[in-house]
Amino acid sequence: MRHVTTLLPLLCSAATSAYAQDGYPVKPVRMVVASSPGGGTDATARILGPRVSELLGKQLVIENRPGASTRIAAEHVTRSAPDGYTLLVTASTHIILSSVFKQLSFDPLTDFAPITQAIVVPQLLVSHPSIPAKNVKELIAFLKARPGKIEFAGGMAVASNPHLAMVLFMNMSGTNMLSVPYKSGNAGLGDVVAGHVPVTMANPLAALPLVRSGRLRAYGVTTANRAVGAPDIPTIAESGLPGYEAVQWFGVLAPARTPREIVLRLHRDIVKVLQEPEIRSRFVADGAEAQWSETPEAFGRFMQAETAKWAGVVQRAKIPKQ
């Protein structure tokens, strides 16, 4: 009996692997989206879904499970069978969870099989035009002369992407600003336009029209390279803070122990769709850029590096765990 018990997991694994190679998928695949309809995570799934369905030969069913900073969707996926029929589409918030929450029912890295990164969304560092600084170097000097006296609209929550992007900016520049939380990013941006709060990290899609009209001043995008949708605006790194990079990314994961053959098939089909000019144009129109991982393993290494990076940012900012 001991021998039988030992062999059962191996036999099941072999059967699953054989099943993976023999006709996957044979039924619809669920994409569990870690946001409500209309958000960036949801848009990623819905733009990719129809074309990926065509390549797979089976329907991709979008299932929104928002809430708890992406935890509800992630926990649901970890409890699903690792057979390739339940996937998670989530945001970079996923790899920050272990740094900001005391108790998690899952490990954001080890309980998932990475498939591929899908898109990145840059942030845009902007201020009200009354701030005299004209570029990043001047802004840093302006802030250093007023430590703890300048406020910034800090996003919807502590440790949200806009908030942490600004915390990283302060860490690297040696500046100190006061965070003012808002119920939505647009509410914070509106207060910067009105002059109630001087500075914020904003979504370029919402901020660029205000920059073009002169109602906001843009200092730089948070990506390592200039944004496709705003090539005239420099990066923060090139305009005064070398090495700075902070983006919100969205990616696709499966439960841990999903057979490698299935992971590779999903990676191949999703990346093929991401490379299509029409799909890339649709993302650019939404203020995002398609950015895929060369391999599932590369995405895994990227997630590990991002986890370590933002854990350090959270620690240095002394953000308490919730």
pLDDT given at position 163: 87
CB environment 274-284: b (16+ within 10 A), e (fewer):
beeeebbeebe
Q: How far apart are CA 98 and CA 106, in angstroms?
A: 9
Full set of structural domains in the chain with CATH:
24-121+248-316 (3.40.190.150), 124-221 (3.40.190.10)
pLDDT at 168 over 70: yes
Please give the average per-residue pLDDT across 208-219, as a whole number: 96
Question: Are 125 and 220 within 8 A, CB to CB?
Answer: yes
Collapse the DSSP code of 200 into the 3-class scheme (helix H, G, I; strand E, B; otherwise coil) and give the result: strand
| Measured CA distances, 237 to 153, 188, 225 (Å) | 21, 24, 9
H or E element, residue 212 = helix 204-212
Question: Are 81 and 259 within 8 A, CB to CB?
Answer: no
Question: Are 108 and 321 within 8 A, CB to CB?
Answer: no
pLDDT digits (tens, 9 = 90+) for 240-296: 999 999 999 999 999 999 999 999 999 999 999 999 999 999 999 888 999 999 999
Percent of the chain at pLDDT > 70 equals: 92
What's the number of CA atoms in the CB half-sphere (13 Å) around residue 313? Answer: 27
pLDDT given at position 183: 72
Q: Report residue 191's pLDDT band, with 50, 70 and 90 as the boundaries.
A: very high
CB count within 10 Å of CB 228 equals 16
Question: Are 251 and 90 within 8 A, CB to CB?
Answer: yes
pLDDT at 21 over 70: no
pLDDT digits (tens, 9 = 90+) for 42-88: 999 999 999 999 999 999 999 999 988 899 999 999 999 999 999 99
- Among the residue ranges 101-105, 210-214, 270-274, the one predicted with the least confidence is 101-105
Radius of gyration from C-alpha coordinates of the chain:
21
Length of the chain: 322
Please state whether beta strands 178-180 and 199-202 pair in parallel, antiparallel, or not at all (unpaired): unpaired
φ/ψ of residue 124, rounded to 5: -125, 120
Q: How far apart are CA 61 and CA 49, in angstroms?
A: 8
pLDDT given at position 119: 96
Task: Give the contacts of 187 (CB within 8 A, at least 6 positions apart).
Answer: none
Q: Report residue 156's pLDDT band, with 50, 70 and 90 as the boundaries.
A: low
118 CA to centre of own chain: 9
Q: How far apart are CA 31 and CA 61, in angstroms?
A: 6
Question: Are 185 and 162 within 8 A, CB to CB?
Answer: yes
Q: What is this structure's pTM?
A: 0.86
Encoded tokens for 172: 């690297």
pLDDT digits (tens, 9 = 90+) for 121-154: 999 999 999 999 999 999 999 999 999 999 999 8
Question: Are 255 and 80 within 8 A, CB to CB?
Answer: yes
Q: Report residue 19's pLDDT band, with 50, 70 and 90 as the boundaries.
A: very low
- Among the residue ranges 159-163, 168-172, 226-230, the one predicted with the least confidence is 159-163
Please give the average per-residue pLDDT across 178-188, as a whole number: 83
Q: How far apart are CA 322 and CA 304, in angstroms?
A: 22
What's the number of CA atoms in the CB half-sphere (13 Å) around residue 32? Answer: 23
